[in-house]
Amino acid sequence: MDAVTDDEPRTEAEIAERIDANAAEEHEIRNGAHGGLSEEDLARLRTLEIERDRLYDLKRQRQGRRDAGEDEAEAHERDAATVENYRQ
């Protein structure tokens, strides 16, 4: 399991804030791309998508732990490779 990092959200409110900030940045990039998206924009959008996937994965882990009567604080952000390659 990944270790907790200082910037890892620890509450539902922190997770929601990070998701909102992520979405706001994505909209800013897309709205500012009047002549199309640059390679830099596309790379940043991909990074934002991966970060958002990791945050939603963390939300699901926390909910699963609550539903199972376990400590939700034991859930941690998983690395991008784990989250992006998860088979549903």
Give me the pLDDT at residue 4, please: 47
Domain of 46, in residue numbers: 12-84
Residue 54 counted as domain residue: yes
Q: Which residue has the higher pLDDT, 9 or 60?
A: 60
Asked if pLDDT for residue 88 goes beyond 80, the answer is no
Residue 1 counted as domain residue: no
Return the residue matching tokens 């994505």: 26
Number of domains composing the chain: 1
Residue 76 counted as domain residue: yes
Q: pTM, whole model, 2 decimals?
A: 0.82
Tens of pLDDT, residue by residue over 28-83, are: 999 988 888 999 999 999 999 999 999 999 999 999 999 999 999 899 999 999 99
CA dist., res. 73 & res. 9, Å (int): 10
Cα–Cα distances (Å) from 23 to 3, 68, 83, in that order, read 26, 30, 19
Asked if pLDDT for residue 15 goes beyond 90, the answer is yes
Residue 28 counted as domain residue: yes
